[in-house]
Structure 1
């Protein structure tokens, strides 16, 4: 009874909120958390998280720097080769236009850096096991994939614009008087084709990375699709089939060959959407173990 009385008195004293001196005592109640502010979660929060992850790893910077270096090297080699042949008076000297050289440098060299970066955007999380943490914080797997795409595609678009303009400028200077004439529209179309092809390729590679769950396997599949098949199919009289592959269609986006830029762009877009859809279904149905 004594314990109960003391407990009751203590409770009454707490409810009265007064001290022994008789002065009123302010009782602070825990502050209720309000509704989450816009941007604290949802798709916006997932995009912010992916943005931080994308730029916080060294592989992103090294891959982008490698792309710039390969662009400069490819254009320089083409320009030096052209000038050397003409200086030596070679009858069949290699001559081409600056937009074509820029597109070739991107298509043969830089696209591999972009493809690798797209693969590493997801496979690096599989290799380190951080994909589990990602899916704990963002349980909606479709949102995870969409957030990665919304970070990767705009970055590659800007990268493509800068790289395309740089490759065109270097080609103009490098070829000099030995370059073929070209129209202003052709130059604009080449830079725009490069800027649109690179983000589509990156997202296509991202989807393969989700499906393969490993960088080596995804890069091997990309190598076959982008390079081996376009070489093999014409050898067996299937050159028209090769034009519908993302590699050849991407080259046509940049240099205007094949089916032309609009149709070739739609072909690459179709491959990209197919890869992203397959990745979404695979990521949604497969457990991460």
Structure 2
């Protein structure tokens, strides 16, 4: 079913976004993902701060605990963004979506924007909660400044929004939850873990150009980062744009 000029949901992109917003909150999966992300944030940030206190680590910004939790919390965002695409392919309802909005780029853009907005709001909320939970657990082994802490909260939100856009692109490219999740777990967690585990400056540099490696430098404060925060975020954004374009290519080339 190719793109059909002159047809589409009422209101163009705005109408498509409204449709995707309604579909997202009509099922339980997003709520479960958000609750899981909140729970993971609370447990991980408390653990991170406690270990830092026990090991008598150097004093660091309290927001680093929330930034570190993103390595796990991002998968709550991954699942939330992924099901907006793969659930429709699993049930066949994607055909109805493409009949309602025949311009395929508009369907993908609407899903990516909705997922990104939810991920940004959730990410900032998770980071704020994580900062609050970590502060007493650090027990004096962390510093708190309003400006840097706010920047970290927003940085976590922006990173999670980028992960959501990246996920939507991968989901459209694979069209299957197992395939999408396998690729994303490898890209966002397994490959970085292997590269850092093997060690060496060359492998560390490769990791610094992967989504989470760059995102970690963007979200943290005080670490020895190879990139400026803006550069680190642009690397993450480039990954999100690349996967979005790949997903759009597959969406346009293959039948629903």
- TM-score bracket, shorter-length normalisation: 0.7 to 0.9
Q: How many equivalent residue pairs? A: 241
Higher relative contact order, structure no. (Cα contacts within 8 Å, ≥ 6 residues apart): 2
**2:169 maps to 1:207:** yes
1:276 to 232, 236, 244: 244
Is the radius of gyration larger for structure 1 or structure 2? 1
| Moved beyond 4 Å, runs of 4+ | none
- Structure 1 residue 210, shift from structure 2 partner: 0.6
RMSD: 1.8
**2:73 maps to 1:110:** yes
CA distance in 1, matches of 2:59, 2:247: 40
Q: 1:198 to 1:240 in 2, by over 3 A?
A: same
Q: How does 1:52-201 map to 2 (within 5 A)?
A: 52-82=22-52, 85=54, 92-94=55-57, 96-97=59-60, 98-105=62-69, 107-177=70-140, 179-201=141-163
Unpaired stretches in structure 1, ≥5 consecutive residues:
1-38, 86-91
* TM-score computed with the length of structure 1 as normaliser: 0.78
Q: Please say if residues 127 and 156 of structure 2, whose CA atoms lie closer than 8 Å, have aligned partners that are also in contact.
A: yes
CA distance in 2, matches of 1:62, 1:272: 24
Q: Please say if residues 249 and 265 of structure 1, whose CA atoms lie closer than 8 Å, have aligned partners that are also in contact.
A: yes
- Structure 1 residue 117, shift from structure 2 partner: 1.3
Q: Please say if residues 242 and 248 of structure 1, whose CA atoms lie closer than 8 Å, have aligned partners that are also in contact.
A: yes
CA distance in 2, matches of 1:96, 1:103: 16
Q: Please say if residues 193 and 261 of structure 1, whose CA atoms lie closer than 8 Å, have aligned partners that are also in contact.
A: no
CA distance in 1, matches of 2:147, 2:29: 36
3-state DSSP of counterpart to 1:56: coil
3-state DSSP of counterpart to 2:63: helix
Unpaired stretches in structure 2, ≥5 consecutive residues:
1-8
